[in-house]
Structure 1
């Protein structure tokens, strides 16, 4: 199948190369730093950023949060249906 993005240099404004569901966990990092998070059902979202800072914000339903995250924490997270978007 033709892939028009195959030879592009990955960039934050380009399409994600993969998306995985996230199970929030206080001690477990994502398999790699996510370029963004997609949230199906809004609420509080507690993350560890790529710069290793803990941040908690309130997000709405069907939100895309363009922040590099290394972990989604269980403590403080009430949002559900969280997915990590990765750029290869």
Structure 2
């Protein structure tokens, strides 16, 4: 019923993909949010190019961030999923 509606900034994510952190490879698409399944730090490159580390992210957290890359250096969190 709602699958044909356009995706807006306030709409829930329509796609998801597991992330393998990498210092060299961007995500397939800029994230709308990032799910963290296992507690730890999440090091990312934000949409604007700024490197940022989110410390002590709890398991099950959904961070509403526009990330272009999840970095392997500095990321200790696990079971990470990009949401689009």
Query: TM-score if structure 1 supplies the norm length?
Result: 0.89
**Which ranges of structure 2 fall in alignment gaps of 5 or more residues?**
none
**Which ranges of structure 1 fall in alignment gaps of 5 or more residues?**
none
- Ranges of 4+ aligned residues in structure 1 off by more than 4 Å: none
Query: TM-score if structure 2 supplies the norm length?
Result: 0.93
Query: Alpha-carbon deviation of 1:12?
Result: 2.5
Greater Rg over alpha carbons, structure: 1
How many positions carry a matched residue from both structures? 83
Of 1, 4, 13, 2:2 maps to: 4
Q: Could you say what the CA RMSD is over the residues aligned between the two structures, in angstroms?
A: 1.0
Corresponding residue SS for 2:10: coil
